[in-house]
């Protein structure tokens, strides 16, 4: 019975993490320049012969009037509801069908025993491996950057040679 409680606690924690992630994914984030408003001023002559500036476009106050998915509490509750329904279905399958429950418990026990068989690298080996990956990544980044610079300069040189021929 203890293993069943542990599995239910684990499923509940996973559901909470998934709901937080889904709420984060569905949350409405504003663009970096939001709120500044975009307006364009055009000069148009009026009847007296002078020009008067007219504003075209939208301003920040007009943008806020539009409804966005993140504005409603409903859009926050939908992902949470989906996750809770999925957890409820899993719980019903796990607890409601004895044959499925036994298979699941057997799978979790075998998973635990296999987990113990994993041989992990030592801390020193992990640091060495990480250092190798970082150094190789930096070297590859430098090589790709130099190739990009070389190809860019080469294409610019070819374009400078071809431009007089195109005129």
Task: Average the pLDDT over 126-144 and give the result.
Answer: 96
* pLDDT class of 8 with cuts at 50, 70, 90: confident
For residue 125, CA distances in Å to 50, 115, 116, 130 come to: 78, 20, 20, 9
Instruction: Say which DSSP state 70 is in.
Output: G
User: For residue range 73-109, what is the model confidence (pLDDT) as tens digits?
Assistant: 666 677 777 778 887 877 777 777 777 778 877 888 8
Burial label, 112 (beta-carbon count in 10 A; 0-12, 13-18, 19+): exposed
User: What is the per-residue pLDDT for 38?
Assistant: 45
Say yes or no to pLDDT of 34 above 50.
no
The Cα–Cα gap between 35 and 41 comes to 18
Whether 6 and 109 have beta carbons less than 8 Å apart is answered as no
Mean pLDDT of 109-126: 89
Residue 90 Cα distances to 12, 15, 22, 74, 80, angstroms: 11, 11, 18, 24, 15
Return the percent helix, strand and coil in the chain, to nearest 5. Answer: 70, 10, 20
| CB distance 82 to 22 below 8 Å | yes
Could you tell me the two tokens for 130? 């990480």
Mean pLDDT on 119-126 = 90
Taking residues 38-57, report their average pLDDT: 50
């Amino acid at each position: 019975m203890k293993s069943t409680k542990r599995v239910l606690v684990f499923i509940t924690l996973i559901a909470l993490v998934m709901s937080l992630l889904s709420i984060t994914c569905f949350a409405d984030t504003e663009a970096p320049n939001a709120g500044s408003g975009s307006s364009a001023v055009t000069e148009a002559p009026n009847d007296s012969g002078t020009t008067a500036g007219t504003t075209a476009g939208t301003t920040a106050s007009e943008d806020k009037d539009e409804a966005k998915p993140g504005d409603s509490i409903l859009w926050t509750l939908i992902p949470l509801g989906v996750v809770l329904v999925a957890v409820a279905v899993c719980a019903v399958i796990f607890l409601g069908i004895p044959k499925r429950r036994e298979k699941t418990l057997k799978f979790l026990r075998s998973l635990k025993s296999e987990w113990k068989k994993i041989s992990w690298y030592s801390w020193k080996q992990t640091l060495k491996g990480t250092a190798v990956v970082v150094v190789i990544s930096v070297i590859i980044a430098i090589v790709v950057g130099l190739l990009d610079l070389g190809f860019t300069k080469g294409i610019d040189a070819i374009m400078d040679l071809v431009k007089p021929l195109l005129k």
